[in-house]
Amino acid sequence: MAEVLLFHHAHGLTAGVREFAEGLGRAGHTVHVPDLYDGRVFDDLEEGVAYAQETGFDAIVERGRAAAEDLPAELVYAGFSLGVLPAQTLARTRAGAKGALLCHACLPVTGPGGGWPPEVPVQVHGMDADGFFAGEGDLDAARDLVGTVPDAELFLYPGDRHLFADRGLPSYDERAAALLTERVLGFLDRLG
């Protein structure tokens, strides 16, 4: 079974993120879910984003690195939206990465740290009409990633909801979340 380091989105470490992690755990995977917000959870996405901006995106990535320090190198790095920042960074730069799960976001793989390591499989999940994912360049970055990495998959779901896999948020989409979970479990089983 796989060992996963899952990073939360801009709302913080919500019950929905914990529930997602628990579902992976019930399937036999070991899942670590660090709190990058020091206990803060925001009902409003804009407030959560403002907190992340105030904290600094580099600081969020560094908190992710710190969370990984005492864990084995052979991890699958996963992130929901904002959590993709540390997940994608660690999957690209930390030796031993087994894979990456990028949900609701994807960053370009050029720039500091170089491209994507070809031996690290990746899945990207997002909605095709999500204003953040499809409208702010993440979908383009995901398509570029899939076009250059041998074991990369992009899964698009119909709809315009951003954080559709978090059961506790109004943007939750039960059908899309179930399919995402099924695909994630298949990916983890393959890597485990």
Tens of pLDDT, residues 119-131: 999 999 999 999 9
pLDDT at 12 over 70: yes
Q: Determine the Cα–Cα distance for residues 134 and 1; give it in Å rounded to an integer.
A: 32
d(CA 44, CA 169): 10
Q: Any idea what the CATH number is for the domain that residue 87 is in?
A: 3.40.50.1820
Q: Which tens digits make up the pLDDT trace of 166-187?
A: 999 999 999 999 999 999 999 9
CA–CA separation, 17 and 65 (whole Å): 19
Count, residues in the chain: 192
Q: How many CB atoms lie within 10 A of CB 188?
A: 24
The total number of structural domains that make up the chain: 1
Phi, psi dihedral angles at 101 (to 5 degrees): -120, 115
Burial degree of 125 (CB within 10 A; 0-12, 13-18, 19+): buried
Domain containing residue 14:
3-191
pLDDT digits (tens, 9 = 90+) for 24-67: 999 999 999 999 999 999 999 999 999 999 999 999 999 999 99
Q: What is the pLDDT of residues 68-103, one digit of tens each?
A: 999 999 999 999 999 999 999 999 999 999 999 999
d(CA 113, CA 142): 17
